[in-house]
Structure 1
Amino acid sequence: MSAVCVLKMFIARRGKPYELWSDRGTNFRGGHKELQSAFESMAPKLQQQLAKQTINFHFNPPYSPHFGGTWEREIRSVKSALQGVLKDQVVAEEVLLTALIEVEGLLNSKPLGYASSDVADPDPITPNLLLMGRRDAALPQAVYGPHDTLSNRRWKHSQVISDHFWKRFVQNYLPGLQLRHKWRKSTDNATVGQIVMIVDSNLPRGLWLVGTITKVFPGTDGVVRAAEVKVKDSIYIRPVTKLVELPEMPEDSSGTSSN
Protein backbone atom coordinates (compact mmCIF):
# COMPACT_ATOMS: atom_id res chain seq x y z
CA MET A 1 0.00 0.00 0.00
CA SER A 2 1.39 3.39 -0.98
CA ALA A 3 2.29 6.04 1.58
CA VAL A 4 -0.21 8.43 -0.02
CA CYS A 5 -3.07 5.95 0.49
CA VAL A 6 -2.06 5.46 4.13
CA LEU A 7 -1.89 9.24 4.60
CA LYS A 8 -5.39 9.65 3.15
CA MET A 9 -6.74 6.98 5.51
CA PHE A 10 -5.03 8.69 8.44
CA ILE A 11 -6.54 12.06 7.49
CA ALA A 12 -10.00 10.52 7.07
CA ARG A 13 -9.75 9.07 10.59
CA ARG A 14 -7.85 11.77 12.50
CA GLY A 15 -8.03 14.90 10.37
CA LYS A 16 -5.25 16.68 8.48
CA PRO A 17 -2.01 16.96 10.46
CA TYR A 18 0.03 20.14 10.46
CA GLU A 19 3.30 18.23 10.13
CA LEU A 20 4.60 14.68 9.71
CA TRP A 21 7.84 13.23 11.09
CA SER A 22 9.39 10.08 9.65
CA ASP A 23 12.60 8.37 8.60
CA ARG A 24 13.89 8.61 5.04
CA GLY A 25 12.22 5.41 3.83
CA THR A 26 11.66 5.27 0.08
CA ASN A 27 7.91 4.97 0.63
CA PHE A 28 7.76 8.17 2.67
CA ARG A 29 10.09 10.12 0.39
CA GLY A 30 8.26 8.82 -2.67
CA GLY A 31 4.88 9.84 -1.25
CA HIS A 32 6.22 13.31 -0.48
CA LYS A 33 7.53 13.76 -4.04
CA GLU A 34 4.29 12.43 -5.52
CA LEU A 35 2.24 14.96 -3.56
CA GLN A 36 4.61 17.78 -4.55
CA SER A 37 4.40 16.78 -8.21
CA ALA A 38 0.59 16.65 -8.08
CA PHE A 39 0.47 20.09 -6.45
CA GLU A 40 2.83 21.64 -9.04
CA SER A 41 0.70 20.30 -11.90
CA MET A 42 -2.41 22.12 -10.66
CA ALA A 43 -3.64 25.44 -11.99
CA PRO A 44 -2.27 28.49 -10.13
CA LYS A 45 -5.71 29.41 -8.77
CA LEU A 46 -6.20 25.93 -7.33
CA GLN A 47 -2.68 26.01 -5.87
CA GLN A 48 -3.52 29.24 -4.11
CA GLN A 49 -6.64 27.70 -2.56
CA LEU A 50 -4.88 24.54 -1.45
CA ALA A 51 -1.79 26.32 -0.07
CA LYS A 52 -3.60 26.69 3.26
CA GLN A 53 -3.80 22.89 3.54
CA THR A 54 -0.03 22.39 3.45
CA ILE A 55 1.43 19.49 5.47
CA ASN A 56 5.04 19.99 6.53
CA PHE A 57 7.12 16.84 6.08
CA HIS A 58 10.14 16.37 8.35
CA PHE A 59 12.62 13.58 7.53
CA ASN A 60 15.37 12.32 9.80
CA PRO A 61 18.95 12.78 8.57
CA PRO A 62 20.37 9.82 6.60
CA TYR A 63 21.69 6.88 8.65
CA SER A 64 20.22 8.19 11.90
CA PRO A 65 17.38 5.90 13.03
CA HIS A 66 17.93 7.07 16.62
CA PHE A 67 16.39 10.43 15.66
CA GLY A 68 13.01 8.68 15.61
CA GLY A 69 13.46 7.00 18.97
CA THR A 70 10.15 8.32 20.30
CA TRP A 71 8.00 6.56 17.74
CA GLU A 72 10.40 3.75 16.85
CA ARG A 73 10.11 2.41 20.38
CA GLU A 74 6.33 2.23 20.06
CA ILE A 75 6.61 0.52 16.66
CA ARG A 76 9.10 -2.01 17.98
CA SER A 77 6.90 -2.83 20.96
CA VAL A 78 3.89 -3.44 18.69
CA LYS A 79 5.90 -5.57 16.25
CA SER A 80 7.47 -7.66 19.01
CA ALA A 81 4.14 -8.32 20.70
CA LEU A 82 2.38 -9.20 17.43
CA GLN A 83 5.19 -11.49 16.34
CA GLY A 84 5.01 -13.28 19.67
CA VAL A 85 1.22 -13.62 19.38
CA LEU A 86 0.85 -14.58 15.72
CA LYS A 87 4.12 -16.52 15.22
CA ASP A 88 3.57 -18.47 11.97
CA GLN A 89 -0.19 -18.23 12.17
CA VAL A 90 -1.92 -17.04 9.00
CA VAL A 91 -5.04 -14.99 9.67
CA ALA A 92 -7.61 -13.46 7.40
CA GLU A 93 -7.05 -9.83 6.42
CA GLU A 94 -10.32 -8.84 8.11
CA VAL A 95 -9.17 -10.42 11.40
CA LEU A 96 -5.70 -8.83 11.26
CA LEU A 97 -7.09 -5.38 10.39
CA THR A 98 -9.59 -5.54 13.25
CA ALA A 99 -6.87 -6.58 15.69
CA LEU A 100 -4.51 -3.81 14.51
CA ILE A 101 -7.18 -1.14 14.95
CA GLU A 102 -7.89 -2.50 18.45
CA VAL A 103 -4.15 -2.28 19.15
CA GLU A 104 -4.23 1.33 17.93
CA GLY A 105 -6.99 2.04 20.44
CA LEU A 106 -4.97 0.43 23.24
CA LEU A 107 -1.90 2.52 22.52
CA ASN A 108 -3.94 5.70 22.29
CA SER A 109 -5.62 4.97 25.63
CA LYS A 110 -2.29 4.69 27.48
CA PRO A 111 -1.96 7.37 30.20
CA LEU A 112 0.63 10.03 29.40
CA GLY A 113 0.30 11.97 32.63
CA TYR A 114 -2.32 13.33 34.99
CA ALA A 115 -4.28 16.53 35.45
CA SER A 116 -3.38 18.29 38.68
CA SER A 117 -6.86 19.72 39.25
CA ASP A 118 -7.85 16.87 41.59
CA VAL A 119 -4.94 14.79 42.86
CA ALA A 120 -7.33 12.87 45.12
CA ASP A 121 -8.85 11.30 42.00
CA PRO A 122 -6.17 11.49 39.26
CA ASP A 123 -7.53 12.18 35.81
CA PRO A 124 -5.14 10.53 33.32
CA ILE A 125 -4.40 12.34 30.08
CA THR A 126 -4.34 9.95 27.11
CA PRO A 127 -3.64 10.40 23.38
CA ASN A 128 -7.32 9.69 22.69
CA LEU A 129 -8.29 12.57 24.97
CA LEU A 130 -6.02 14.90 22.99
CA LEU A 131 -7.15 13.51 19.62
CA MET A 132 -10.90 13.28 20.24
CA GLY A 133 -11.42 15.66 23.14
CA ARG A 134 -13.18 12.94 25.15
CA ARG A 135 -12.49 9.83 27.17
CA ASP A 136 -11.58 6.54 25.54
CA ALA A 137 -14.64 4.99 23.96
CA ALA A 138 -13.66 1.30 24.20
CA LEU A 139 -16.36 -1.18 25.18
CA PRO A 140 -15.97 -3.43 28.25
CA GLN A 141 -13.83 -6.38 27.18
CA ALA A 142 -14.81 -10.04 27.38
CA VAL A 143 -12.04 -12.59 27.93
CA TYR A 144 -11.93 -15.58 25.57
CA GLY A 145 -10.02 -18.83 25.91
CA PRO A 146 -7.25 -20.04 23.56
CA HIS A 147 -9.67 -22.45 21.85
CA ASP A 148 -11.54 -19.47 20.44
CA THR A 149 -8.66 -18.74 18.07
CA LEU A 150 -10.05 -21.54 15.93
CA SER A 151 -13.54 -20.12 15.96
CA ASN A 152 -15.16 -19.51 12.61
CA ARG A 153 -16.37 -16.19 13.96
CA ARG A 154 -13.72 -13.77 12.78
CA TRP A 155 -14.60 -11.04 15.22
CA LYS A 156 -13.97 -13.40 18.14
CA HIS A 157 -10.65 -14.48 16.62
CA SER A 158 -9.58 -10.83 16.42
CA GLN A 159 -10.50 -10.34 20.09
CA VAL A 160 -8.31 -13.26 21.17
CA ILE A 161 -5.37 -11.81 19.22
CA SER A 162 -5.94 -8.42 20.88
CA ASP A 163 -6.07 -10.05 24.34
CA HIS A 164 -2.75 -11.84 23.73
CA PHE A 165 -1.21 -8.62 22.43
CA TRP A 166 -2.28 -6.78 25.56
CA LYS A 167 -0.62 -9.32 27.86
CA ARG A 168 2.67 -9.30 25.98
CA PHE A 169 2.65 -5.52 25.63
CA VAL A 170 2.11 -4.96 29.35
CA GLN A 171 4.70 -7.59 30.33
CA ASN A 172 7.44 -6.49 27.93
CA TYR A 173 6.96 -2.78 27.27
CA LEU A 174 5.53 -1.01 30.30
CA PRO A 175 8.19 -2.14 32.80
CA GLY A 176 10.75 -0.53 30.51
CA LEU A 177 9.21 2.87 31.23
CA GLN A 178 10.65 2.66 34.74
CA LEU A 179 14.24 3.91 34.77
CA ARG A 180 16.03 1.57 37.16
CA HIS A 181 19.80 1.58 37.44
CA LYS A 182 21.85 -1.26 38.89
CA TRP A 183 24.25 -0.95 41.81
CA ARG A 184 26.38 1.73 40.16
CA LYS A 185 23.76 4.44 40.61
CA SER A 186 20.85 4.79 43.01
CA THR A 187 17.38 5.90 41.99
CA ASP A 188 14.91 8.10 43.83
CA ASN A 189 12.58 6.30 46.20
CA ALA A 190 8.85 6.24 45.59
CA THR A 191 7.14 8.78 47.83
CA VAL A 192 3.67 9.35 49.24
CA GLY A 193 1.56 11.49 46.92
CA GLN A 194 3.11 10.30 43.66
CA ILE A 195 0.68 9.47 40.85
CA VAL A 196 1.47 6.08 39.35
CA MET A 197 0.13 3.56 36.87
CA ILE A 198 0.00 -0.07 38.01
CA VAL A 199 1.42 -2.63 35.60
CA ASP A 200 -0.83 -5.70 35.66
CA SER A 201 -1.04 -8.05 32.68
CA ASN A 202 -3.87 -10.01 34.31
CA LEU A 203 -6.35 -7.17 33.93
CA PRO A 204 -8.66 -7.03 30.90
CA ARG A 205 -7.03 -5.18 28.02
CA GLY A 206 -7.31 -1.42 27.95
CA LEU A 207 -7.83 -1.20 31.71
CA TRP A 208 -5.11 1.08 33.11
CA LEU A 209 -5.15 1.47 36.89
CA VAL A 210 -3.96 4.94 37.91
CA GLY A 211 -3.79 5.97 41.54
CA THR A 212 -1.93 7.77 44.29
CA ILE A 213 0.75 6.30 46.54
CA THR A 214 -0.57 6.54 50.10
CA LYS A 215 2.11 4.56 51.93
CA VAL A 216 5.61 3.26 51.22
CA PHE A 217 7.45 0.28 52.71
CA PRO A 218 11.21 0.88 52.93
CA GLY A 219 13.61 -1.94 53.73
CA THR A 220 16.30 -1.94 56.40
CA ASP A 221 18.58 -0.14 53.94
CA GLY A 222 16.06 2.67 53.47
CA VAL A 223 15.22 1.68 49.88
CA VAL A 224 11.50 1.57 49.08
CA ARG A 225 10.64 -1.67 47.31
CA ALA A 226 6.86 -1.73 47.77
CA ALA A 227 4.09 0.82 48.08
CA GLU A 228 0.41 1.12 48.84
CA VAL A 229 -1.59 2.67 46.01
CA LYS A 230 -5.13 4.03 46.27
CA VAL A 231 -7.19 3.71 43.06
CA LYS A 232 -10.58 5.31 43.62
CA ASP A 233 -12.02 3.30 46.56
CA SER A 234 -9.60 0.37 46.33
CA ILE A 235 -6.17 -0.15 47.88
CA TYR A 236 -3.38 -2.11 46.18
CA ILE A 237 0.04 -3.06 47.56
CA ARG A 238 2.53 -3.54 44.74
CA PRO A 239 6.31 -3.73 44.33
CA VAL A 240 7.74 -0.53 42.91
CA THR A 241 8.91 -2.52 39.86
CA LYS A 242 5.21 -2.72 38.91
CA LEU A 243 4.60 1.02 39.27
CA VAL A 244 5.16 3.61 36.55
CA GLU A 245 5.28 7.22 37.73
CA LEU A 246 3.14 9.58 35.66
CA PRO A 247 4.24 13.19 35.14
CA GLU A 248 2.01 16.13 35.91
CA MET A 249 0.65 17.63 32.71
CA PRO A 250 0.94 21.45 32.51
CA GLU A 251 -2.20 23.50 32.75
CA ASP A 252 -3.60 24.96 29.54
CA SER A 253 -2.47 28.57 29.34
CA SER A 254 -5.89 29.58 28.05
CA GLY A 255 -7.49 28.28 31.25
CA THR A 256 -9.75 25.85 29.37
CA SER A 257 -10.03 22.17 30.12
CA SER A 258 -11.19 19.15 28.11
CA ASN A 259 -14.54 17.55 28.80
Structure 2
Amino acid sequence: MPEQDLRELPINRLSLYQHLTQVKQHLWHRWSKEYVSELQQRTKWKSQQDSLKLDSLVLVKGDNQPPMRWKLGRIEAIHPGKDGIARVATLRTSGAIIKRSFAKICPLPLESS
Protein backbone atom coordinates (compact mmCIF):
# COMPACT_ATOMS: atom_id res chain seq x y z
CA MET A 1 0.00 0.00 0.00
CA PRO A 2 1.56 3.34 -1.01
CA GLU A 3 2.32 5.95 1.60
CA GLN A 4 0.20 9.08 1.80
CA ASP A 5 1.99 12.06 0.22
CA LEU A 6 2.84 14.34 3.14
CA ARG A 7 5.15 16.75 1.34
CA GLU A 8 2.59 19.60 1.18
CA LEU A 9 1.30 19.47 4.76
CA PRO A 10 2.52 22.14 7.21
CA ILE A 11 5.12 20.81 9.66
CA ASN A 12 3.20 21.89 12.78
CA ARG A 13 0.31 19.54 11.86
CA LEU A 14 2.41 16.37 11.69
CA SER A 15 3.23 13.72 14.24
CA LEU A 16 6.85 12.58 14.61
CA TYR A 17 6.23 9.59 12.31
CA GLN A 18 4.55 11.79 9.71
CA HIS A 19 7.38 14.33 9.95
CA LEU A 20 10.00 11.63 9.34
CA THR A 21 7.94 10.28 6.45
CA GLN A 22 7.69 13.80 5.01
CA VAL A 23 11.46 14.31 5.24
CA LYS A 24 12.03 10.94 3.54
CA GLN A 25 9.58 11.83 0.76
CA HIS A 26 11.24 15.21 0.18
CA LEU A 27 14.67 13.59 -0.02
CA TRP A 28 13.50 10.84 -2.39
CA HIS A 29 11.69 13.34 -4.60
CA ARG A 30 14.70 15.66 -4.89
CA TRP A 31 17.15 12.78 -5.43
CA SER A 32 15.04 11.21 -8.17
CA LYS A 33 14.40 14.49 -9.98
CA GLU A 34 17.75 16.26 -9.61
CA TYR A 35 20.61 13.84 -9.03
CA VAL A 36 19.62 10.95 -11.28
CA SER A 37 18.85 13.33 -14.16
CA GLU A 38 22.31 14.90 -13.85
CA LEU A 39 23.98 11.52 -14.30
CA GLN A 40 23.17 11.63 -17.98
CA GLN A 41 25.99 13.63 -19.50
CA ARG A 42 25.19 15.81 -22.45
CA THR A 43 28.11 15.83 -24.86
CA LYS A 44 28.50 16.38 -28.57
CA TRP A 45 28.99 13.36 -30.79
CA LYS A 46 32.54 14.38 -31.61
CA SER A 47 33.79 14.26 -28.03
CA GLN A 48 35.08 11.11 -26.40
CA GLN A 49 33.09 9.34 -23.69
CA ASP A 50 35.84 8.18 -21.34
CA SER A 51 33.42 7.28 -18.57
CA LEU A 52 31.76 4.48 -20.57
CA LYS A 53 34.03 1.45 -20.35
CA LEU A 54 33.51 -2.30 -20.44
CA ASP A 55 31.89 -3.70 -17.28
CA SER A 56 30.75 -0.22 -16.18
CA LEU A 57 27.48 -0.12 -14.25
CA VAL A 58 24.93 2.16 -15.92
CA LEU A 59 21.30 3.21 -15.86
CA VAL A 60 19.44 2.55 -19.11
CA LYS A 61 17.12 5.46 -19.87
CA GLY A 62 13.63 4.26 -20.68
CA ASP A 63 11.36 6.18 -23.01
CA ASN A 64 8.34 7.61 -21.19
CA GLN A 65 9.70 6.46 -17.82
CA PRO A 66 10.76 8.58 -14.85
CA PRO A 67 14.44 8.24 -13.83
CA MET A 68 13.60 6.04 -10.84
CA ARG A 69 12.16 3.41 -13.22
CA TRP A 70 15.24 3.19 -15.45
CA LYS A 71 16.84 -0.26 -15.59
CA LEU A 72 20.25 -1.10 -14.20
CA GLY A 73 22.70 -2.59 -16.67
CA ARG A 74 26.35 -3.45 -17.29
CA ILE A 75 28.28 -2.63 -20.47
CA GLU A 76 29.21 -5.82 -22.33
CA ALA A 77 30.62 -4.28 -25.55
CA ILE A 78 31.24 -0.87 -27.08
CA HIS A 79 30.71 -0.44 -30.83
CA PRO A 80 32.73 2.27 -32.62
CA GLY A 81 31.33 3.79 -35.81
CA LYS A 82 33.07 4.14 -39.18
CA ASP A 83 34.81 7.26 -37.87
CA GLY A 84 36.21 5.40 -34.86
CA ILE A 85 34.00 7.18 -32.32
CA ALA A 86 31.89 4.89 -30.16
CA ARG A 87 28.24 5.86 -29.94
CA VAL A 88 26.54 2.55 -29.17
CA ALA A 89 27.01 -0.07 -26.46
CA THR A 90 25.68 -3.56 -25.80
CA LEU A 91 24.27 -3.83 -22.28
CA ARG A 92 23.26 -6.72 -20.06
CA THR A 93 20.19 -5.97 -17.94
CA SER A 94 18.33 -8.27 -15.60
CA GLY A 95 16.11 -9.53 -18.39
CA ALA A 96 17.99 -9.22 -21.67
CA ILE A 97 21.01 -8.12 -23.67
CA ILE A 98 20.24 -4.86 -25.49
CA LYS A 99 21.98 -2.24 -27.65
CA ARG A 100 21.60 1.42 -26.72
CA SER A 101 23.12 4.68 -27.87
CA PHE A 102 25.30 6.58 -25.41
CA ALA A 103 22.56 9.23 -25.25
CA LYS A 104 20.32 6.66 -23.52
CA ILE A 105 22.97 5.48 -21.03
CA CYS A 106 23.79 7.14 -17.70
CA PRO A 107 27.03 5.92 -16.10
CA LEU A 108 26.86 5.48 -12.34
CA PRO A 109 29.62 7.27 -10.42
CA LEU A 110 31.23 4.30 -8.68
CA GLU A 111 34.71 4.40 -7.20
CA SER A 112 36.93 1.43 -7.97
CA SER A 113 38.79 -0.02 -5.02
Gaps of 5+ in 1: 18-100, 113-172, 252-259
User: Is 1:187 the counterpart of 2:85 in the alignment?
Assistant: no
Provide the secondary structure at the position in 1 that maps to 2:99: strand
CA 1:104–1:240 in 2, change beyond 3 Å: closer, same or farther?
same
Identity, in percent, stands at: 21
Residues 48 and 85 in structure 2, CA contact (< 8 A), matched pair in contact too:
no
2:79 aligns to what? 217
User: Is 1:242 the counterpart of 2:111 in the alignment?
Assistant: no
Q: Deviations over 1:206-243 (max 9, x none)?
A: 42201100011101222111111111241111111000
CA 1:181–1:108 in 2, change beyond 3 Å: closer, same or farther?
same
Normalized per residue, the structure richer in helix is: 1
| Alignment: residue pair count | 101
User: Is 1:197 the counterpart of 2:71 in the alignment?
Assistant: no
Normalized per residue, the structure richer in strand is: 2
1:31 aligns to what? none
Among 13, 20, 36, the residue aligned to 2:19: 13
Mapped to 1, the partners of 2:109 and 2:44 lie a distance apart of 20
Residues 194 and 212 in structure 1, CA contact (< 8 A), matched pair in contact too:
yes
Gaps of 5+ in 2: 1-9
Residues 106 and 206 in structure 1, CA contact (< 8 A), matched pair in contact too:
no
Residues 175 and 199 in structure 1, CA contact (< 8 A), matched pair in contact too:
no
The one-letter code of the counterpart of 1:178 is Q
The one-letter code of the counterpart of 2:98 is Y
Residues 39 and 108 in structure 2, CA contact (< 8 A), matched pair in contact too:
no
Query: Counterparts in 2 of 1:43-122, with a 5 A limit?
Result: 108=31
1:49 aligns to what? none
Mapped to 1, the partners of 2:110 and 2:64 lie a distance apart of 27
Residues 177 and 244 in structure 1, CA contact (< 8 A), matched pair in contact too:
yes
Indicate the RMSD between aligned Cα atoms, in angstroms.
4.3
1:22 aligns to what? none
Mapped to 1, the partners of 2:81 and 2:62 lie a distance apart of 23
2:37 aligns to what? 174
